[in-house]
Structure 1
Amino acid sequence: MAPKGPCMADRFEQELGLRTLGANRFEIEMGDRWNIGPVPNGGYSLSVAAEALRRVLDFDQPLSLTGHFLRPAQAGTATIEVDTLRSGRRMGYARAVLSQEGSARLAVTAVNGNPDSRSGFDHLTLTPPELPAFEDCTPIPGVRPFNDNMSVRLDPACAGWLEGRYDEHCVLTGWVAFADGRPADRAALPLFSDSFPPPVFRRLGPVGWVPTLELTLHYHRAPASARLIGRFSTQVVSSGILEESGQLWDETGQLVARVRQLALLQQRQA
C-alpha cells in the first residue's frame, strides 16, 4: 500500500469542502487534481454534488445517484443548489444542480437512506474478477493530473490495447485506489466509478474523447479496503452512443457499487 503523508489522506475531503451560501445553496472551489486534461473527471463532479445532497437530506448515506452532464465543468468556483423532492421515514429524495459562470454544468438526482441500520434479505450471484496482485497489473500512462492522484491498474490480460494490440472484447478489469493510500469510502465511490478508461478502447484503441452524458451509481456496501476491484464492459454502441456497465468490489469480496453510464464516442478524424 502506498504510504500516507500527514496531510495527504485529507486531500479528497478538502476537495469536497463546501461553503454554505444560504438555505440549500453551496459554493466550492473545484480543484484541478482530478482533471483529465483541462476537464475535471465526471466522477469528481458527481462526488461534489453528492456531498451537497448529503448535507441537505436527513439521510446521509446515498443509495442511488444519477447525474446528467449538461456541459463540461472546469476547475474553479462552482455553486450547487439542492431541492428536496421528498423526505420520508426511511429515505429522502433530492435534486442538485452544479453551475459555473451562470451556466448549469451537472444535474443530479439522489436517493439517500440509512442502509447500515437495517437488516433484510440479501441475494447476490455476481462474483469479483480474479486479478493478479496490484503491483503486477499495468498502470494507465499519461492521463495527468488525474493519474498523479488516482492509481488505476489493469489486468495485463486486457491491457494489450495500451501497446496497440486490440481485440473484440470490450471488457476491462483491474484495481483502482487513491495514489496516496487514502481508504475508499462512500464519498469517493462516484470518483472511483468513473476512473477506468472506456472499455471500447480495448477494441478501437484510444480513439478520442468519450464524454459522459449520463451516469447512474447504485451503492451497496461501504468499502472495507483502500483498493477496489473493478470490472467495466460495453456491450452496445449505437451510432456513436455507447453504454458502459461496471461493478466495484472491495478486497473482502463485497460488492460495493454498480454503475452504468451513457457516453458519446467522439472518434478523431483520420
Structure 2
Amino acid sequence: MAAPTFADVVPIKRISSHQYSISLEDEWCIGSVPNGGYVTSSFLVVARTHMSQTHSTRSEPHPVNLHLEFLRRTSVGEAIFTVQDVKLGSRISNLHITLSQPKHPGDTVREDKAQGYITMSNIATEEGLSLDTEYTLSSPQALPVNLPILGANNLDENYTIRPADPFPQFRRAAQCIQIFLVRPDKRGPSRPKSIIDQWVRFSPKGVPNGRWTNDALGFLVDMFPQIVESYINPESEDAALGAQSQQQRRDSTKKPKVNGGRPFWYPTLVLNLDVKKLLPEEGVEWLFVRVRAKAVKNGRFDLDIEVWDETNELVATSTHASLIVDASRNIAGRSRSKTSKKNNDSKL
C-alpha cells in the first residue's frame, strides 16, 4: 500500500465545474478551529483539482503561488470552495477561491470564511532562464543531519524528536506531524529564540508513515513550535526535549505565568506561499523547515518560512501575518463538536 499523502486526508467532492466540497475534520484543529495550514492545503487541493478536471486541456495542474486571507474562524464540518477563473492563460492561470460555511449550525445561508488567489502553472514543464544565485540559509547555518539514524533512533548528533506539543489537546493538528528539533546542547548563543530549525515527517493520525507532496505545503508551513512560546513559556519546550534538570523544573513552577498560565492562540491573518519545486507524486519522507520571526509587537507578529529537501534544494517559501490572542477567543461560543448560536464569527 502506498504511503498516505495529504490528498488522502482531504477527500474532495466536485459539486459542479466551479464548486467543490471538503469536510474539515476535528483532528486537524487548534482548539475548535481547523488549523490555518490545513485549510491552506485544502485550497491547494481545490485549485489542483479544478485545473485538472475543469480545465484539463490547459495542463496547468500545479499551484505556484498563493495569497490567502482568513476572514473569520472556520469550523469543523463541510466547507464549500467556489472557484472563479480570473484569467486562463497558455502558461499561467489565476484563480480566485472562496471558502464558505454556515455562520451557525443548521443555517442555510453561508458566509465567507477565507479567500485566496492562486497562480497555476506546470512546474514539470517550465522553461526559461535559470541562474545559480548560490543562496543558502542565512546565519545560523543549518546543522547537518543523519536522517536514517534520526528516523530509527529519534535522535542523531544534532537533532532530537519533539515528543509532544505542550498543549496537545488544544493543538490537535500538531499530532499530524513528527518534528525533530536542534538538540538543546547544540543550540548555543548563535541560535536565537526567534529561529526554529526542524526536520519533519508527515504523520496523519499520529503515525509517521506519510509522505510530503506539494498538496501538503500549506500545512507544512503553518505547523511548528510557536516562536512566541519560546520566549514566554520556554520551560514546557525544554522539559519536553529533556533539557531541564529537576531543579530547573521545580524553579519554573515558581515563576509568574504569562497570561495566567493559559495557552495563547496564534491565528493567521494572511498567508503567502511561493512554490519553487515539484515534489515527486509519491511524496518524500523528510523535509527541512526554518521558521523566523522578525518582530513581535502589540499582539501581532510576522513569520518567514523556508522549506528545503534532502538534496539541499529550496522547495517553497512562505510569509505570515499573525495575531497573539487568548485561547478563549478560539473556543468562544463553540464546543468541540457544535457551534453555539450565540457565536459572533466577525471576531477572531
Which residue number corresponds to residue 237 of structure 2? none
Are the counterparts in 2 of residues 170 and 234 from structure 1 also a CA contact under 8 Å? yes
How many residues of Structure 1 are paired with residues of Structure 2 in the alignment? 257
AA paired with 2:130?
Answer: F
Q: CA RMSD in A?
A: 2.5
Which residue number corresponds to residue 268 of structure 2? 212
* 1:241 aligned onto 2:297: no
* 1:175 aligned onto 2:232: no
2:136 to 126, 133, 152: 126
Are the counterparts in 2 of residues 152 and 195 from structure 1 also a CA contact under 8 Å? no
* 1:14 aligned onto 2:8: yes
Are the counterparts in 2 of residues 51 and 187 from structure 1 also a CA contact under 8 Å? yes
**When you count strand as a share of all residues, which structure comes out higher?**
1
**When you count helix as a share of all residues, which structure comes out higher?**
2
Which residue number corresponds to residue 72 of structure 2? 71
**SS of the counterpart of 1:46?**
helix
Are the counterparts in 2 of residues 247 and 259 from structure 1 also a CA contact under 8 Å? yes
* 1:103 aligned onto 2:103: no
**SS of the counterpart of 2:216?**
helix
Give a deviation string over 1:216-235, Cα, whole Å, max 9, x none. Answer: 01101123631111110101
Which runs of at least 4 in structure 1 moved beyond 6 Å after TM superposition? none
Pairing of 1:1-270 with structure 2 (within 5 A): 6=1, 9-10=3-4, 12-57=6-51, 58=58, 59-101=60-102, 102-119=110-127, 120-122=129-131, 123-127=133-137, 129-133=142-146, 134=150, 135-136=154-155, 137-139=160-162, 140-141=164-165, 142-144=167-169, 145-157=172-184, 169-179=193-203, 180-205=208-233, 208-223=264-279, 225-266=284-325
Hey, what's the Cα distance between the residues in 2 that align with 1:189 and 1:124? 24
Deviation, structure 1 residue 74: 1.9
Distance 1:132 1:198, change over 3 A: same
Hey, what's the Cα distance between the residues in 1 that align with 2:192 and 2:325? 19
Give a deviation string over 1:80-129, Cα, whole Å, max 9, x none. Answer: 00111111111010110111111211111111111221233133412372
Where do 5+ consecutive residues of structure 1 fail to align?
1-5, 161-166
Hey, what's the Cα distance between the residues in 2 that align with 1:214 and 1:111? 16
Deviation, structure 1 residue 154: 1.8
Distance 1:219 1:11, change over 3 A: closer
Deviation, structure 1 residue 159: 10
Where do 5+ consecutive residues of structure 2 fail to align?
52-57, 103-109, 235-262, 329-348
Which residue number corresponds to residue 240 of structure 2? none
Are the counterparts in 2 of residues 158 and 172 from structure 1 also a CA contact under 8 Å? no
**Aligned sequence identity (%):** 23
Which residue number corresponds to residue 245 of structure 2? none
Hey, what's the Cα distance between the residues in 1 that align with 2:67 and 2:100? 17
Deviation, structure 1 residue 11: 6.4
Deviation, structure 1 residue 14: 3.1
Distance 1:177 1:212, change over 3 A: same
AA paired with 2:40?
Answer: L
Hey, what's the Cα distance between the residues in 1 that align with 2:305 and 2:113? 24
Superposition TM-score, scaled by structure 2 size: 0.68
Are the counterparts in 1 of residues 5 and 213 from structure 2 also a CA contact under 8 Å? no
Which residue number corresponds to residue 163 of structure 1? none
Hey, what's the Cα distance between the residues in 2 that align with 1:41 and 1:159? 31
